[in-house]
Amino acid sequence: MPGDRHDGTPFLPADVADPERPGSSAATAMIRLARPGDGPGVEALARIALGADAEMPAGPGTFATAIDRHGGRLTLPHGTGCALVAAATEAAEGAPIGLAYACPPIQLIDQHLELGVHG
């Protein structure tokens, strides 16, 4: 499946910047697994997504610290969460400009375990 890379190799859609395609732009984006050093940018994007106030805290939060320690693969109670970031191809080493996060449905799993299996 395109983009399903577990080794951290960047995914670059081939048709993102096809100059022959109507509406295409010359700018391309790269999707990659977050890596140590992305923490502050990832946390800032997460705060925007959650509607947090624009003022950033003085120090890094727990999400930023986790990204800086472990990269985009975070161990969770029932599996692994993955933080993917988007970056402009020219600035692939720079700050993330987009964020996608996927994780197992932890609350659902916990509730199912509490209630037990109903036949």
Rounded distance between C-alpha atoms, residue 99 and residue 63, angstroms: 13
Rounded distance between C-alpha atoms, residue 46 and residue 100, angstroms: 9
In terms of pLDDT, which residue wins out, 35 or 29? 35
- Could you tell me the two tokens for 40? 């502050």
In terms of pLDDT, which residue wins out, 19 or 95? 95
Rounded distance between C-alpha atoms, residue 54 and residue 22, angstroms: 36
Q: For the segment 75-112, what is each residue's pLDDT rounded down to a tens digit?
A: 888 888 899 988 876 655 667 888 888 888 877 788 77
Percent of the chain with pLDDT over 90: 12
pTM recorded for the entire structure: 0.62
- Could you tell me the two tokens for 117? 């299996």
